[in-house]
Structure 1
Amino acid sequence: AIMAVGKNKRISKGKKGGKKKAVDPFSKKDWYDVKAPSIFNTRNIGKTLVTRTQGTKIASEGLKHRVFEVSLADLQNDEDHSFRKIRLRAEDVQGKSVLTNFWGMDFTTDKLRSLVRKWQSLIEAHVDVKTTDNYTLRMFCIAFTKKRANQQKRTCYAQSSQIRQ
C-alpha cells in the first residue's frame, strides 16, 4: 500500500506565537465620582470609569463632555418627580470628582405613552429661548385636547385652524 505523502497533521499541532496573556481591561481604569450641580439636593449621583492617564491620553479629557442621565427623583429625594430624567454633562474634573452642568430634561417613555390617548388631538411645538444668563434652551411642548364637562361626543379633536403653527 502506498502511504500518503505530506505532514502528519496531528504531530505539529503547536500554537504559533505562544499563548497571549489575557490583560484585564479594568486594571488600567480609575473610578471617578460624578457630582450634580448645586441646585439639586443630592450632589453625589454616581461613579464613572475612565482609562488612566497614559502618554498623550489624559484621563480628564476622556471624561469631559460625557452625558449622564439621572432621575429627578434621585436628585431631589422626591418620588413625585420619578418620570423626569435630567441629563448632566461633565464639564470639569477636580481630583477624583467630575463636575457636571445641566444638559437637558426629558420624560421617561412610559410617562409619555401614558399621556397619549385615543379620541383626542395631540399638539406639539418647540421654541428656542435665550435666558438672561446667556444660555439657549430649546423647549418642547406637548398638549392634548380635553372634553368639555357637558360633552356627549366621545372624540375631542382640534381643527387645524385652531392649532397655530
Structure 2
Amino acid sequence: MAVGKNKRISKSKKGGKKKTVDPFTKKDWYDIKAPSVFSVRNVGKTLVSRTQGTKIASEGLKHRVFEVSLADLQSDEDQAYRKIRLRAEDVQGRNVLTNFWGMDFTTDKLRSLVKKWQTLIEAHVDVKTTDNYMLRLFCIGFTKRRPNQVKRTCYAQASQIRQIRRKMVEIMANQASTCDLKELVSKFIPEVIGKEIEKATSSIFPLQNVFIRKVKILKAPKFDLGKLMEVIARGKAMFFVQPLCGLGLLSFKHLILLLRSMGTTARRTLV
C-alpha cells in the first residue's frame, strides 16, 4: 500500500497565517508649519515612521516637499489657482518647519487664459536673490485690444514681442535680485511683478493677464537654522521654542547659541 498524504491530519501551527499588524501603529503625526509670509501657519499634518535604531524619524521628514493651494494659506478662494510648494527644513518637537520651494499655476487656470484673436508672450529668467537662492521665474502675458479699437484681433508684431519679452526679463531680474526670498514670495501673492510689466509695456502694446506663472528653485544656500528661525520668529515663533525647552529637547546652551545666530529683529520678536 502506497503511503500518501492524509488530508484529515491537521497541519501544525508553524505554517499558519501570520497576524496582520496595522502599519499606522508604528507611525506618528507631525504638524506642518508654513513660513510667516502666509497668513495661515498650520498647513496640515504628515505621517512618518517612529524612530527605530539608526532610522531617525526627523531625518525621514527633512526635505519632504508639500504642495498646498494658496487659497488655504491665505484664506482667500480667489487665490485657488496658485499651488505653493513647501519643503521641510527642520523638525522641532512635533512641528515640521518649512520654507518656500516653488510655485505653479493649476492647469485649468492656464487653459482658461489662452483665447483666440490675441498673442501669447512668454519669458523666463534665472536670477539670484540677496540670500543666495537661485531661482528661475516664468512669466506669461497676453495682448489685448486698444481702447476704441474696432478690429477684433489684437496680434502683436514679432519686433513688439521681442521688446515686450526684453522688458519682462529686465523687470523680473530687477525685482528678484534686490530682495531676499521672503520678500520675493510676498510680491507673488498680490502679483506686483505682473502689474509692473503691464504698466511698463503699455507703450509698446497693451497687455492683460500678466502673471509669474511658475517659480523653480534651482539652487538653495546651505541650511542655516538661525535664518529659518528668523523667518519663523517674525510670525511669533516662541510657541516652537518654549515646548522644546520644557520637554528637554532644546537645552539652555543650545537656545543661547540659537539666539546668537539670529538677527536682531528675530530676537526682539522672541522676547
Question: TM tier, shorter chain?
Answer: 0.7 to 0.9
* Bigger-Rg structure (1/2): 1
Please, what is the CA RMSD of the aligned residues?
2.4
Distance apart, 1:33 and its partner CA: 0.3
Q: 1:30 aligns with which of 9, 23, 28?
A: 28
Whichever residue aligns with residue 39 of structure 1, its letter is V
CA distance in 2, matches of 1:23, 1:135: 44
Q: Aligned runs of 1:2-21 on 2, under 5 Å?
A: 17-21=15-19
Deviations 1:101-156 (A, max 9, x none): 00111112111111111222212111011112222221100111222334444333
Larger RCO, structures 1/2 (Cα 8 Å, 6+ apart): 2
Q: Distance in 2 between matches of 1:115 and 1:13?
A: 71
Amino acid of the structure 1 residue aligned with 2:125:
V
Residue 61, structure 1, aligned to residue 59, structure 2:
yes
Matched, 1:142 2:140: yes
Distance verdict in 2 for CA 1:8–1:40, change over 3 Å: same
Distance in 2 of aligned mates of 1:108 and 1:125:
19
Higher mean Cα deviation, 15-24 or 70-79? 15-24
- Calculate the TM-score normalised by the size of structure 1: 0.85
**What does 1:49-88 align with in structure 2 at a 5 Å threshold?**
49-88=47-86
Match of 1:117 in 2: 115
* 143 and 6 in structure 1: CA distance in 2 versus 1, 3 angstrom threshold: farther
Measure, in 2, the Cα distance between the counterparts of 1:51 and 1:23.
14
Counterpart for residue 99 of structure 2: 101
Q: How many residues align?
A: 161
Secondary structure at the residue paired with 1:148? coil
Aligned pair in 2 of structure 1 residues 41, 13: CA closer, same or farther (>3 Å)? same
